[in-house]
Amino acid sequence: MSSARNSDSDTQQTLAPPVLKHTLHQEQSSVLSLATHRDWIFSGSQGQDIYVWDRKSFVLKTSLRGHTEGVLALELAPAKNWLFSSSGDRTVRIWSTVDLAPLYVINPYLEAEAGDLFSLAYSPVLDTLYIGCQNTSLQWINLSKPDVKSGSQTPPSGSLTPKWHRFFDSFPQAERKPPGEDSPNLTKTLLSLRRDSRPSVITRTTATLQITAQNTIDSAHFGYMYCMALTPSPLEVSDDEAREDGAIELVTGSGDETVKVWSCSEKGVTWVHTFSGCDGGVLSLVARNGTIYAGCQGGHVKVYDLDTRTLVRTIMMPDNSDILSLSMIDTDLYTSSASGWVRRWSAHCDCTSSWQAHEGIILSSVITHDESRSDGFILATGANDNAIRLWEIERSSVRPNVLTHLYVDDTLVRGLHDFVQFPSVSSLPENREDCRQAAIWLRKFLTQLGAEASLVPTQDGLNPLVLATFRGSEGKRKKSRILFYGHYDVIPAPKEGWDSDPFDAVGTNGYIYGRGVTDNKGPILAAACAASNLLRQRKLDLDLVMLIEGEEEAGSMGFAEAVKANKELIGTIDVVFISNSYWIGETTPCITYGLRGVVQANVEIRSHRPDLHSGVEGGAIQEPMLDMIRLLGTLSDSDKIRVPEFYDNVRPMQNEERELYELLSKVTQRPAASLASKWREPALSVHNISVSGPGNATVIPSSVKAQVSLRLVPDQNIEVVSQHLVDYMHQSFSKLNSCHTLDVSIERTADWWLGNLKSCWFKALEQAVLDEWGVRPLRIREGGSIPSIPFLEKELNCGALHLPMGQSSDQAHLPNERISLANLKKGKSVMERFLVAVSQFQD
């Protein structure tokens, strides 16, 4: 065995190139297509035949003969023990993978006019074969009850005529002429094969099947249909799971620079969506985990999200060579190029390995299990150097985003274990794909729980929303509709300080540890499992809409715009429900009914001079740092914020609220005044000061920046306070008679929120907690802000409820984040009780 050569130009790679296990040589014939069976490796040649190689001995077993031109595509139907082959001779043939004998010939609609049959895709669920044709038509045939034409057809025989193939031996697009002796990047393939020198050839009389006009879409593309793929891929899910998952979609790629998505059913094929702007013909496709990878001319791969119908990434090849084949295992993508190079790409679209696999153009590739290694796999590549090379590859350590079943023993806990494994850190660009995969996983999970779920795009480059609806039973009166809001993104989790891997949910002493278990993945799944359990018992008599965002920890960018754009899809909502905070202690359940708002401002003072040396200029000039200190000092005195009119609209404390603080003081052993100052009184904070230059003790910085925030309470107006803050700082700065420049900008705002303790919704939630825990919950407020609550209240014109599931020691945003297993399960039960109770509310 020898290892592959590595490219010095690919500097990103982190893995060694794979070991070359074996090489198979065809007789002077390009390898146009590949398929692997448990016993055989099938290779479609440019010289009409399909070579059959023994998987164990790598010896050429036989040749399947019947086509009269090159074999452009191969596809397997394992359950039927069938091999499909399509050719430039305008036919598709079906072969037995048991005795390697021919079974059927499929003639396309309009036969000769269909042209070369470039691509095949077989759906075992629908028992249907889809064919992409040179004449731009999409055709299909159902094989459960094939319509066999009368008569028979014997595979023709005769001499082979050397010819150039219009696609696989194509010439550079700029030349617009057939390849000649001087074609620099393409290797000629001469077909000088002699039949009498080959192993035995299987032949047998075959029946003929005819595709009808009803199973044809003319002009499905405006160019040759080079490639196609099914989603969900038959490699991802079983037939039964595919049926449960819903519609099967066919993805097609064409020389017209588009990728099209088609909905497939027993009734036929319907166009769904077109992805445009591939900047070159689409030559190869693979679809996995709700993602389409399209290999194009010019050496780039377009990565599309099927749910949101958006382009999420473009992968560029260093050599800009056409990508004629794609293969995928788990989250690893293998690109095979016309340059002869193969590259392996991670789930984050980083090139982790690259090597020159062939001296010619790689035309085909396929991944299969390596029978000689328990956990090993083989990447088979075929090229126009007449060689098939088998490379030993390993599975990625990244868990594939595939749900195979729901966990009967404990859906909630096992689901949370899977959910946490996605490092969905929204603030880090390197985790962008992890966030998207977490959203795809959640959408699948909610679907399997019984919801109608989809992904909703936000802004370009931002993570999608997950929108799901658990629809309750229809009754005589109008159903209530509750919206549960949460977020699947998390903050970073450096491993320092953790006792276990932060992205591996670990159970210890009654707690589950892992980033996001309490903030906010655990509560999301608890709510979903509660609705699913009621749905299964036919006790869900309302609609629960789940709206889960992926940018909450990064400022909820794009969230408001997406909600406004999809209000019709969300529908009318009666109350918003959130579970994204914690108890005030460890043992007594709580309900949060208030949050402070926030205004965050950036302040910068700049000098017209560069950074200076304090030993040279100190004392002779005004310094921006001293101006900043004086300016910040004007914002407050001993205990009051000096922004004009700041306290004018602060809501006074009423006796009922004062009694609540006294009760909480007894329970928590904290002074009531301390609780009130954190929850219901406004506050000013200066978070940091940064300077230009190196920041050492001898430098006078030319610019100084500070971050300031104001915490707001009912009934302060966030816009008015923001403007007063900016105006006041400019007025204070002008009094300093400084020669410097001041800039004040509002970076972020979030409104305050106060729930209605007298509403029927709040009383129902309070009763549900009492019934589950056996103790009346404490009514608490929080000093922090959750911008989405007041926004959703105003946008959806309804009230909101906030049920904390975590304890005060859950360590959210800190190392060893955890959630109590008892709290998680009881939180689910509280949610069930609440949904049953409010479903009885009258209109």
Per the listing, tokens 């309470």 go with 713
Q: Rounded to an integer, what distance in angstroms lies between the CA atom of residue 237 and that of residue 240? A: 8
Q: Is 236 labeled as catalytic in the residue annotation?
A: no
Q: Rounded to an integer, what distance in angstroms lies between the CA atom of residue 423 and that of residue 804? A: 23
DSSP for residue 149: P
Pairing of strands 92-96, 82-87: antiparallel
8 Å CB contact between 148 and 205: no
Q: Three-state secondary structure along 192-234?
A: CCCHHHCCCEECCCEEEEECCHHHEECCCCCCCEEEEEEECCC
Q: Rounded to an integer, what distance in angstroms lies between the CA atom of residue 744 and that of residue 766? A: 44
- Ranges assigned E (strand) in 290-386: 291-296, 300-305, 310-316, 323-329, 332-337, 341-345, 351-356, 362-369, 376-383
Q: How many helices (H) and strands (E) does the chain have?
A: 14, 49
- Which one of 489, 519, 541, 574 is the catalytic residue? 489
8 Å CB contact between 60 and 197: no
Two tokens, residue 37: 């069976």
Q: Three-state secondary structure along 471-495?
A: CCCCCCCCCCEEEEEEECCECCCCC
Render the burial of 199-222: b for 16+ CB within 10 Å, e for the rest. eeebeeebbbbbbeeebbbeebbe
ω before 234 within 30° of 0 (cis)? no
8 Å CB contact between 396 and 330: yes
Two tokens, residue 696: 């050492």
Per the listing, tokens 């060694």 go with 16
- Which one of 543, 552, 623, 782 is the catalytic residue? 552
DSSP for residue 784: S
| Residue 516, CA distances (Å) to 152, 643, 804 in order | 64, 38, 14
Positive/negative CA dihedral, 638, 643, 644, 650:
negative
8 Å CB contact between 260 and 279: no
Per the listing, tokens 């023993």 go with 409
Nearest to 274 by CA among 316, 304, 319, 238: 304
% helix / strand / coil in the chain, to the nearest 5? 20, 35, 45
User: Phi first, then psi: what are they for 30, rounded to 5°?
Assistant: -60, 150
The contacts of residue 748 (CB under 8 Å, 6+ apart) are 555, 598, 599, 600
Per the listing, tokens 């929204």 go with 426
Radius of gyration for the alpha carbons in the chain, expressed in angstroms and rounded: 33
Q: Rounded to an integer, what distance in angstroms lies between the CA atom of residue 662 and that of residue 665? A: 5
Q: Rounded to an integer, what distance in angstroms lies between the CA atom of residue 610 and that of residue 693? A: 9
| Residue 111, CA distances (Å) to 69, 95, 103, 117, 133 in order | 15, 20, 19, 10, 10
Q: Rounded to an integer, what distance in angstroms lies between the CA atom of residue 584 and that of residue 780? A: 8
What type of residue sits at position 544? Answer: L
Q: Rounded to an integer, what distance in angstroms lies between the CA atom of residue 432 and that of residue 461? A: 9
Residue 180, judged by CB atoms within 10 A of its CB (0-12, 13-18, 19+), counts as: exposed
Q: Rounded to an integer, what distance in angstroms lies between the CA atom of residue 541 and that of residue 475? A: 8
Q: Is 552 labeled as catalytic in the residue annotation?
A: yes
| Residue 614, CA distances (Å) to 618, 623, 696, 738 in order | 4, 10, 10, 19
Residues with a catalytic annotation lie at 489, 552
